[in-house]
Amino acid sequence: MNPDWLTPELISILIAIGKAVVILLAVVLFAAYLSFIERRLLALWQDRHGPNRVGPFGIFQLIADMIKMFFKEDWTPPFADKLTFLLAPVIAMSALLIAFAIVPVTPTWVVADLDIGILFFFALAGLAVYAVMFAGWSSNNKYSLLGGLRSAAQTVSYEVFMGISLMGVVAQAGSFNLGDIVEAQADLWFIVPQFFGFLTFALAGVAVAHRSPFDLPEAEQELAAGYHTEYSGLKWGMFFVGEYVGVVLISALLVTLFLGGWQGPLLPPVVWFVLKTLFFVMLFILLRGALPRPRYDQIMAVGWKVCLPLTLINLLVTGAVLLAGSGPVGS
Amino acid sequence: MELAFYSSAAVAILATLRVVTTGNPVHGLLYLIVSLLAVAMIFFALGAPFAGALEVIVYAGAILVLFVFVVMMLNLGPELARQERQWLRPAQWVGPGVLSAALLAVLLWFLFGAGTGALVGQGTVGPKQVGIALFGPYLLVVELASLLLLAALVAAYHLGRREDRR
């Protein structure tokens, strides 16, 4: 060890990078593994076996699937628009993965402690939409295009109320910073005073991750595989992992914003965070197994006529209560 | 910070040039998204993260989604790209180009002549200061803007109403 170049700043930078890499790997690996967990859990709830052949309880199924995916022909259709066709899966996987940087896993363990925290997530969720739209357009395929159009229509209807649904939380915590928001929930989790905010954000979150029942862009009964019909091999795998990254991200955000994040008695913070996140991931999967898929005009109607007024009223009431109590509570 | 400012400014200018010169409308929109992201980076470099985030959310994330939506529906093919290239002859762009260059010269003259602007990366304007400024000294402007938007909303509703439902 040479003390000349090994300054304390360098060590702290290296530790920060190490923490960020650990979070990145944990999220990506867990997201990939979710494909197996989802199939097993769905099978359990539907009274089937699911994939249980590869290794004990089928835990090596993912490796088999990955080998299959790597050896598939990575085909770019000649009629596709090359630039956007290649760009779409990259956006799909990276956008929501980058958004994970703002989630505080423990009091000291967060990749990017941004003052604009939640806005950063909104920005990346807004950009993630292009993955579906560009994939749908560039494939030059009717089904893909319909998937992309549905995605655009869906986005316009949920993004507005998603933004407003979290403003109650921001007003109560007095900050956009996710760390501050977790600290503000020391006495009472925000799911109690912000219950409608929680409901509407959970709805919008399912739509952000394109999960059933809001998986209209890839409704396989009507649209083949929707926007990723023309994708195969690793490019398709990036869409696939991107969807699960979305599930993990939305679960982690729901935990951070409404269930007190890493806070909890006895157990260390990281354990509480992981446990709560796993609970929401499980709910995501259960939702897929339990609910039918609505038509997309129904989704738009619910978004504009129910959720938007609900979030606006929620924000108004929150503001009024805060003004009456004068000053932000819990901070 | 200055390096970040100049590099994102260069990206913004190049991407915007490509928006104008490219023949394929979807590629043009893609360049426009890149340009808006670069402008957001400029805001971040200048110490205005709130404005930068709003730039991405509102422009890149919402308005351009609608643009892409419409262009996707039009199903524009290669012949349109050829048509675009035909329109982009010197006779078409020399006039506007000269006028824009004159405006640019005036702008540069002011920037270098006055030189009273804040330096790059001096201080940070957080969400709280923006909110206080909007609902303090600029309250009247905010209310006027909201009235304008309400009028636009009513007009859009009127235009989109179906006559046969009466």
Residues B103-125: what's their mean pLDDT? Answer: 72
Nearest to A83 among B27, B49, B69 (CB): B27
Contact A168, A194 (CB under 8 A): yes
Q: What is the pLDDT at residue A329?
A: 47
pLDDT given at position B150:
95
Record: contact B72-A148, CB cut-off 8 A: yes
* Residue B60 forms contact with A (CB below 8 Å): yes
Residue to substitute from B24, B65, B66, interface A, most A β-carbons within 10 A: B65
Confidence of residue B155 (pLDDT cuts 50, 70, 90): very high
The answer, for B66 touching chain A at a CB cutoff of 8 Å, is yes
Residue among A119, A91, A97, A108 nearest A252 (CA): A97
Nearest to A318 by CA among A210, A204, A171: A171
| Most A-contacting residue of B37, B57, B70, B132 (CB-CB within 10 A), to test interface | B57
Residue of B nearest to A120 (CA): B53
Residue A181 is classified by DSSP as: H
Please check whether residue A300 touches B, CB under 8 A.
no
Most A-contacting residue of B44, B72, B130 (CB-CB within 10 A), to test interface: B72
| Beta-bridge partner residues of A106 | A109
CB < 8 Å from A in window 113-132 of B: 124, 126-127
Hey, are the CB atoms on B65 and A155 less than 8 Å from each other?
yes
CA distance A154 to chain B (A): 11
Contact A116 B69 (CB under 8 A): no
**Cα–Cα distance between B162 and A75 in angstroms, integer?**
45
- Residues 3-32 of chain B whose Cβ lies under 8 A from any Cβ of chain A: 24, 26-27, 30
Interchain contact A224–B (C-beta under 8 A) = no
pLDDT for residue B118: 56
**Contact at 8 Å (CB) between A281 and A204?**
no
B75 pLDDT more than 70: no
Q: Record the pTM.
A: 0.84
Res A331: pLDDT:
42
Residues of A in contact with B135 (CB under 8 A): none
Asked if A131 and A97 count as a contact pair (C-beta separation under 8 A), the reply is no
CA distance A217 to B51: 31
ipTM topping 0.85: no
Cα of B57 to nearest chain A Cα, Å: 5
**A323 touches B at CB < 8 Å:** no
What was the pLDDT predicted at B144?
94
Q: What is the mean pLDDT of each run of 10 residues along chain A (331 residues)?
A: 71 84 86 84 83 79 82 77 82 86 81 81 86 80 79 80 87 84 82 85 85 68 69 80 88 88 79 86 85 80 87 90 68 42
Query: CA of A55, closest CA in chain B: separation in Å?
Result: 44
Is A79 in contact with A142 (CB distance < 8 Å)? no
User: Between vectors from CA B67 to CA B63 and to CA B69, what angle results, nearest 5°?
Assistant: 110
Q: Which residues in A lie closer than 8 A to residue B26 (C-beta atoms)? A: 81, 84, 134, 137-138
pLDDT at B141: 92
Task: Give the highest mean pLDDT range of A152-161, B4-13, B80-89.
Answer: B4-13
Question: Taking CB atoms and an 8 Å limit, are A122 and B57 in contact across chains?
Answer: yes
List all residues 6 or more positions away from B163 whose beta carbon is below 8 Å from its beta carbon.
Answer: none
Choose between B33 and B110: higher pLDDT: B33
Taking the CA of residue A120 and the nearest CA in chain B, the distance in Å comes to 6
